[in-house]
Amino acid sequence: MNQDVTRLEELLARVQRNAAQPRRGRAAPLPSSPSAASSPSAASSPSAASSPSAASSPARPPVTPPAPPVAVSPPAPPVAPAPAYSPPASFDSVDDLLADPFPASSAPPPPIPAEVIPDPIPAAGVAAGSEHISGVMPVAEISEEPPEELLEDDIVEMSPTEAAAEAAPPEPRSSLDELDFDEEGEAPAPRAELDEEPPASSSRSKVAATMDEALAHAAEQMEIQEGREVPLKTPPPESGPQAAMAPLPAGIHAPPAPDIDELLEADIIPVSGVTGAVPTAEQLGQTIDLDEARGPHLELDQPAAAAPAPPTEVAPPEELEVTLPQREFGGGYQDNLMPPPEARQDLDAHRQRVGEESIPPPPESLAQYPSAHPATSTGGMFAPASAPSVTTESPNEAVSTVTIEASSRAEFVPELLARPESSPGPVAKFIRADAPRPSTFLELLDASLKLGEG
């Protein structure tokens, strides 16, 4: 509040000081266009002498005011200009000075009807018809020229607060709390006005006067940057469309993700130091409990070792390497090897089902003597069956009768007759007929002449 009062007092002093100066730089409004000075285009013109900054510069030479346009048909401004402040020509009292110099934009001034004079001559025709080589143009003609259209870049919007800020020297900041980055060192303005009419153009950053001020400003910027939340304008990148994961049928599941702990533990355990007594973590997960061995004990017979050494419970890793049996060792099963109980039951059931015992032995080939068949090996887990005995009763070697004594359980006894072996000899005799061949043509002719005789 005290600051506002101080500012108002300074403003008052400045106004009084400006009022004491002669009004040489002001453009005299023409009586024919009283509303031209209050038009937005005239107010926004950079050459307008009504700006306080221009009037406050004493070293500035007097500026020749440009002739205001007579025929005002302002083109549509490219941007909506801020309401310009046109200070009154003179202040009658202090109350007028203390009055609100910046009326709110919510209560715009009543529109002043502009006098629009239609241009009787087109602008192109004027330009073509009046050519002044010397460059001196009569005032009458100047007044009849169409208003110069300002480009967008030529329009500089200045609010009265900015103009006042430029005129007033910047006040040093007493503390960091007084820093207001929204104002950027401008002159303080009424809060309501700033809220309602933000400046359309960005202001120039203020240069720090001292090193302390620059450090303080930098620290403030850091705090603001840290406290600001960066809005997410774009969604986070994705790896593309992903197929929807359909539920897997029962019994099928995706492989579980590897356990990091297990992997680390497996890496910790040295490979060379694995022993049978200390299984790894992976082996623990895949261990299958096996049943106790049944039936006779199987072991590899080594020719050199007379009696196999009893198996040790914990064999060293070196003993796992077993030398393969030598070539002379053919291998085989022990004679007292018996099938396990389950296999015995299955075997009996199979024998009963197919009647294996009633099946006669396979017939022998008639081309061979029964004695030619080698004796079947009776080794193994089956009991040796009684082989049928074969005798030859016929004394004649040419035709022999072979009687096979089959087991008493056979239903019939086949009688096999074998053909005796015969030594190879001439089977047929071919007699070559030696036809008389005539050696000469005359003999043949004579023989042919005898045909049909007799």
Partner 1 sequence: MMSPRFDPSYALEFDLGRGQIRMANASERVVVPSDALLALCEGASEDAVRDFGRRLGTEAGRAALAHLGDAGQASLEAVVEHLGGELALMGLGSLGLERWGSALVLCFTHSPLGGAGDALLGSVLEGMAQRAFGRDVVAAKLMRDAEHVRFLITGRAGADKALGWLSSGVAWGDVLTRLASAGRGES
| Residue written as token pair 């409990």 | 289
Q: What is the DSSP string of 242-295?
A: ----PPPPTT--PPPPPPHHHHHHHHHS-STT--SSS--HHHHHT--PPPPP-S
Nearest Cα residue to 361 out of 308, 438, 288, 413 = 413
Chain residues binding partner 1 by CB under 8 A are 435-436, 438-442, 444-454
Backbone angles phi, psi at 405, to 5 degrees: -90, 105
Give whichever of 9 and 446 is closer to partner 1, judged by the CB atom: 446
Report the residue number, 100 or 453, with the smaller CB distance to partner 1.
453
Question: Least CB distance from residue 440 to partner 1, whole Å?
Answer: 6
The least distance separating partner 1 from the CB of residue 437, rounded to whole angstroms, comes to 8
Angle at CA of residue 69, ends 63 and 75, nearest 5°: 115
* Minimal distance, residue 432 CB to partner 1, in Å: 16
Q: How far is the CB of 438 from partner 1 (least distance, A)?
A: 7
Nearer to partner 1, 294 or 450 (CB): 450
Neighbours of 43 (CB within 10 A): 19
The residue assigned the tokens 């022990």 is 334
- What is the distance between the alpha carbons of residues 42 and 147, in angstroms, rounded to a whole number? 10
Report in angstroms the alpha-carbon separations of 156 from 52, 83, 185.
Answer: 15, 13, 19
Q: Which is nearer to partner 1, 295 or 438 (CB)?
A: 438
- Name which of 141 and 446 has its Cβ closer to partner 1: 446
Count other C-beta atoms under 10 Å from residue 40's C-beta.
15
Q: Which is nearer to partner 1, 21 or 448 (CB)?
A: 448
CB of 454 to partner 1, least distance (A): 7
CB nearer to partner 1: pick between 240 and 436: 436
Q: CB 442 → partner 1: shortest distance, Å?
A: 5
The minimum distance between CB 365 and partner 1, in angstroms, equals 51
Instruction: Please return the burial class of 164, using the count of CB atoms within 10 Å of its CB with bins 0-12, 13-18 and 19+.
Output: buried
The residues with which 400 forms a beta bridge, in sequence order, are 418
